[in-house]
Amino acid sequence: MPYFYFYTMKNWIFLFFSICSISLAAQSIPQNYGFTAEAFGGYFFKHSSEIKFPAKGISSGMTLFYNYDTYGKEAWSQWRNYPTVGIGVGFLDIDQSDIYGTAFHISPFINTYSKWRGNSRGYFRVTSGLAYLTKRYDEIDNPDNTAIGSNWNVHFSLLWGWQWRIQPNLDFNIGAGVVHFSNGGTTAGNLGINVLSLQTGIKYIPKAIDRKDYISNNDKRDLDRKFSADIETSFSLVQHDAGSGGSYFPIYIHSLNIGWDWNKVHRWMAGFEYEKNLKVLNFLNHIHKFEPDERDWQASRVQFFLGDELRYNRISGYLKMGISLTNHYKEEFLIYNKIGLRWYMIESKYFNLYGHIVMKSQLAEAEYLAFGLGVRF
């Protein structure tokens, strides 16, 4: 009962301050900016046999979003059917919180929409940012939490939902999705937390622009040149052992791909990646497994992938699905996926230069979080 009371009060206090913030800011914010307040309920599912204590009840929380409804002022927003962009702050009480704790997160997001059907439409939300989890693995104080190995983690979520316009400046929404917390394997003892979620909320735009006034000037989005090539290099750090004193080792990733640019906001790609994992190489040197030249090869991978990239102004999101053509020592699963973000820093008629962050996973378990640069010709 005391925990339930505290949990209930925390939700009401968060909601109270959310309403106060919205009320105070409503008269001063620009056109088509506004707020969304959402309540969250979900189930933490066990995606790995190594998770010792899967949650058995409901994980719940709330999020407050500050959002901007694009209306065609930028050409890319016309091509994307006027998405909503913004940033959200919130918390999630994870069931069995004495083991898994509470996640506090701050994350940019983007909503893309289907066509209006009367006063309603579907939407798809991608959220990616930073989270602080109050509980993590500790070999003495919290050995049962094998899901999270550090306090600071990546917060990533996908949501499919439906939105109803109940007033010219007021929307009601409901959706379902998945929420993920992980440090990308940078700290050992990290399997990640995945929560299947249901969310509902209210969106308020004090100075909403009427739909009939949205801009649509049919700017050209096709490219004169359809083919392009990318060269990328990336770097990651992973920990060898859980607990204090575990050494960190780099992973080097190099990639080459050929892309088919459907238009300025959509690109397909196919290519090869080469990885060298010094954590594996160090282990093989330690146990004197294989000849020295063979150890180097056993710590490396050549991979083939297919990918899809979607542009939103200078930011893009992309997904890769691939297979290892050469597997390194004790690798059991050859299929992998990568999800990442790119920021286009330089764009010219000769080349584009971008930075990127990407998380690689095998099934539902993160392998690493990498940062890098790429050049497109």
pTM of the model: 0.82
What is the pLDDT at residue 217?
A: 79
What is the pLDDT at residue 1?
A: 35
What is the pLDDT at residue 69?
A: 94
3-state secondary structure of 18: helix
What is the pLDDT at residue 6?
A: 42
Q: Which residue has the tokens 């699963």?
A: 333
What is the pLDDT at residue 220?
A: 73
Q: Which of 196, 193, 167, 166 is nearest to 181 (CA)?
A: 193
Query: How far is it, in rounded angstroms, from Cα 141 to Cα 111?
Result: 40
Yes or no: say if 194 and 364 are a contact pair by the CB < 8 Å rule. Answer: yes
Which run of H or of E encompasses 158? strand 152-167
227-376: CATH class: mainly beta
Which run of H or of E encompasses 85? strand 84-93
- Ramachandran bin of 81, using left for φ above 0, alpha for ψ from -120 to 50, beta for the remaining angles: left
What is the pLDDT at residue 25?
A: 56
What is the pLDDT at residue 147?
A: 84
Strands (E), 240-312: 248-263, 266-277, 300-312
Backbone φ and ψ for 25, nearest 5 degrees, come out as: -90, -15
Query: How far is it, in rounded angstroms, from Cα 180 to Cα 157?
Result: 6
Backbone φ and ψ for 115, nearest 5 degrees, come out as: -70, 150
- Ramachandran bin of 165, using left for φ above 0, alpha for ψ from -120 to 50, beta for the remaining angles: beta
What is the pLDDT at residue 8?
A: 52
What is the pLDDT at residue 85?
A: 95
Distance of alpha carbon 33 from the chain centroid: 23
C-alpha distances in angstroms, 88 versus 53, 73, 233, 239? 29, 23, 31, 30
Per the structure block, which two tokens stand in for 244?
């204090």
> What ranges do the domains of the chain cover?
33-213, 227-376
> Tens of pLDDT along the chain (377 residues)?
333 434 455 565 565 556 565 555 555 666 889 999 999 899 988 777 777 766 677 899 999 999 999 998 888 898 889 999 999 999 999 888 888 899 999 999 999 999 999 999 999 999 999 999 999 988 888 888 888 888 999 999 999 999 999 998 899 999 999 999 988 777 766 788 889 999 999 999 988 888 888 888 766 777 777 899 999 999 998 876 654 456 889 999 999 999 999 888 899 999 999 999 998 888 888 888 888 888 888 889 999 999 999 999 899 999 999 999 987 777 778 899 999 999 999 998 889 999 999 999 887 677 889 999 999 99
Yes or no: say if 100 and 124 are a contact pair by the CB < 8 Å rule. Answer: no
Overall fold of domain 33-213: Porin (2.40.160)
Within 10 Å of residue 307's Cβ, how many Cβ atoms?
Answer: 21
Query: How far is it, in rounded angstroms, from Cα 51 to Cα 281?
Result: 27
The DSSP annotation for 311-355 comes to: EETTEEEEEEEEEESS--TT----EEEEEEEEEEEEE-SS-EEEE
Per the structure block, which two tokens stand in for 212?
């009939």
